[in-house]
Structure formats: C-alpha cells, structure tokens
Structure 1
C-alpha cells in the first residue's frame, strides 16, 4: 500500500499519467475470454491484487506479492493524500444520490477544495468522449471510476488520451456505495483472512453466488493449470 501511494504521489508531482487497475479472482477468470478486458488490464501502468485469492496464487506460483491492496483502501488513502497535498479529485460513477453523498461526506471530512467534480455512472457509449473531456477539463489530478467491470476498465483504456490531463486514474467498483453507507464492508478480521468475498456473498446471495462459487472454482483451476505447466517445464 505504501509503495503504491508513493508511486502515485511521485507521478502527480512529475505531472505524468498513471493508469491503475486492481485484479481479483473473478477479473482474472473473465480476462481469459474477454480479450478487450484483457487488453485494458494488461495495458495499464500499475496493477494491484485486490483479492486475497490473487495473493495466495502468487505464493503458490512462486512470485509472492507482499500484500493485498484493496481498491477501496487505496481510494480512502488517496483522498487523505489529496487533502494533505492539495490535489483535486473527480468522482465518476454509481447512482446520482450515491456519488452526491460521497462528495458531501468527503467535503465535510476534509474540504470541498479536494473536489474537482462528479458525475453519475449512467451514460450511453456515444457520451463517453464528452464525459472524458469534461473530466479532463475539471482540473482533477485523480479520477475514481465507480462502475462495474469490464465497463470501467474499457472506459479508462479507450479514453486514455482524452484523460491525459489527469495524473492518476483508477476504477473503484462498488466503493462509492460503501463510502455513502449503502453497503457494509466485512469486519477487519474477515478482510485479513481472505473471507471478504463470503461476507458479500452472505449479503447478496442471489446476485453473488455465480460470481463467487463458479468464478472461484475456475480461478483455482487456472492456478493449478499454471502450476503444473511450470512443474513440467
């Protein structure tokens, strides 16, 4: 986490752009068949493991990652950094009332000076370039995109040039819902033991069962296949 924050801060100071993405088991499984998503993820500058399963897999495959860097935790840390360093943030995604609540909460907690602008996540494909230009002209150093995969990854990848004024861009999935108090996060012990997925599954079993049970099984299969491939070489 500290390494990631340091890299982001240095990028903003230098006036460059850093395209960030997080991966979890589900996204890695989706990347096997969704080639556009695969290109969007692999084309980014900095990748963090959001899921504990990815950290475990890295150890099994002999390329151990230091720790899980959850997108929401990175976002929370970056908001604090923005306040400290006088950076501006654009919040893009979620429902109108949710993104408004996020902006209100952060304005009260820190200052409205960190807000470059905000917009909900409901738009048509043909609106994308206009939205990207609006964000680019807002004076934002940081952009958070709270839209589901693969839409957010593809939006950021396809509009990279239009967003060149923004130093740091990242997708944050459902993080706005958590900050706005709409969704509860798992207790810390569950986050640390890799059980956050189970907590989310218990909250929304109908919506999440396929994503976790089917997705996680496929991910274990991919890891074992890779392990045996390396073993045989």
Structure 2
C-alpha cells in the first residue's frame, strides 16, 4: 500500500490526512504486518540532525505523520504539499474509536504506574466496548526486559501504544518490533499524561495557531524551556537555511 513521501530537513513524512492515516492503520492491522509508526515535530527533527540512529529509525518507519503545525508550515514554506497536521494524540484517539468499533485489542505501555492505571480507566470509560489486552508502566530493569516483551507478545494485542519519551521509544520499538508481534506499534510520548488528566492540552485555537508548544511550556517552564525555546529557534534556523539553499539552486525543491 504505497503513499507519497516528502523529505523535510532530512525527515521523511507521509503526505496523509487523518482519514488516510486511519485507512493505513486499519490495513496494517487487518494484514497483521508488524510496523512501527512515528510522528515528527520540530523538536524531533532538530534531534534527528545530530542523532543519526534516530534519523535512520524514523525514516525506516512504515508510517510517518507530521505531528507539529510548525512542520506543516515549514514543509509548505519549502515548497512541499503536506495536506494537514496529524497530531499523535488525535490519531491515537481516532485509533481507539476504531478499536472500540472493530474489536481490536489494545496494549498500553509507558508512564508511571499511577498514570498508566488512570489512562486505562479513562479509555475504558470513553470506549466501553474496547478490549484492553494489557498495560504496564514504562519503568523496568534490563533483567525485566524479556518479561515485558513476552507480556506484550502473549497479549495478542493488535495495537501497542508506547508512552515513553524520544528517542528512547523509537530505539526500543525498532529493536524489539519483531519480538513484540503486534501489527501496529505507535509511540505516543506524553499522551497518557493528557488522557489521565495530569497535563492539559492547549485550546483548539492555540493548536491551529501553532502555539500548542507555548501552552505546554507555560505549564512546566522549568522542564520545557530548553526543549521549546532553544529547540524551536534551531528549527527556524534550519528551515531558513534550507530555503536559502533552495533559492541558490535552479528549480527549487524536487
């Protein structure tokens, strides 16, 4: 099942709408093809500039969505046709709706024990027909690694949501995806915190204005200032640098 891909600042991105993304997710699940899904935002693209391993893993994923509005704007500024933002948490919620409707089995991995339990409870409240194949917090020792993998594989889950920070979740999924034996594996970062109610998501108008990062920043300024203020500045510089290189070449982006 092919799709158009663009390359923005070294990161491949699928030019998919939300509806098209869900069609692809269903295809992977129905055909039981173990795949790794990833979303990219400005911060991750900046991280990929210096982390070759992360860049290779992201670009090898079967499905790559543009999570941040800044990525959509950057792509269009550089001359590429990227139809819309497909935020990770929005895609996750739509996949949960699909699972509730079609009977797909869900496994939740990540966050603290308190958060993962609250997330599981909230999902069951929102989607009463959904099947939670299992859940586990995101903290384990090296000795427990094989037990975690076996727990997921034995659950017969159709979908695995991994709520662990980047780049740890990308590395872990890439290394273990064949052992997990789950058709669709998706890293969801801090989405469990949002679902559980630990952190609030920005109002829709801020999301559309590309200010969701700022809303997140003002909630936890001490923890987030470096990621957003420095990271966003680096991203803007990379975009402007790429635009300058385009303008010095005949024909612009290919």
The question of a shared fold, defined as TM-score above 0.5 by the shorter chain, is answered with yes
Whole-Å separation in 1 of the counterparts to 2:239 and 2:127: 42
Whole-Å separation in 2 of the counterparts to 1:128 and 1:39: 23
Q: 1:127-172: per-residue Cα shift (whole Å, max 9, x none)?
A: 3343223212211000000011111111111112112x21100100
CA distance 1:231–1:79, shift in 2 (3 Å): same
Q: Who is 1:79 aligned against?
A: 96
Once the two structures are overlaid, the 10-residue window that deviates more, 112-121 or 45-54, is 112-121
Q: Who is 2:163 aligned against?
A: 146
Q: 1:58-97: per-residue Cα shift (whole Å, max 9, x none)?
A: 0011112111111111111111100100000000000001
Whole-Å separation in 1 of the counterparts to 2:142 and 2:53: 15
TM-score (norm 2): 0.88
Please state if 1:10 is matched with 2:27. Answer: yes
Alignment partner for residue 211 of structure 1, among 227, 231, 235? Answer: 227
CA distance 1:140–1:155, shift in 2 (3 Å): same
TM-score (norm 1): 0.95
Q: Who is 2:124 aligned against?
A: 107
Q: Who is 1:191 aligned against?
A: 207
CA distance 1:159–1:198, shift in 2 (3 Å): same
Shift in Å at residue 200 of structure 1?
0.6
Q: Who is 1:19 aligned against?
A: 36
Contiguous gaps of at least 5 residues in structure 2:
1-17, 250-254
Please state if 1:200 is matched with 2:210. Answer: no
Correspondence 1:57-72 to 2 at 5 A: 57-72=74-89
Contiguous gaps of at least 5 residues in structure 1:
none
Kept in 1, the 8 Å contact 2:110–2:139? The answer is yes
For residue 81 of structure 2, give the secondary structure of its aligned residue in structure 1.
Answer: coil
Q: Who is 1:90 aligned against?
A: 107
Shift in Å at residue 123 of structure 1?
1.6
Kept in 2, the 8 Å contact 1:72–1:172? The answer is yes
Q: Who is 1:119 aligned against?
A: 136
CA distance 1:113–1:54, shift in 2 (3 Å): closer
Whole-Å separation in 2 of the counterparts to 1:226 and 1:127: 44
Whole-Å separation in 1 of the counterparts to 2:205 and 2:152: 37
Q: Who is 2:184 aligned against?
A: 168
Shift in Å at residue 42 of structure 1?
1.3
Give the root-mean-square deviation of aligned CA atoms. Answer: 1.3
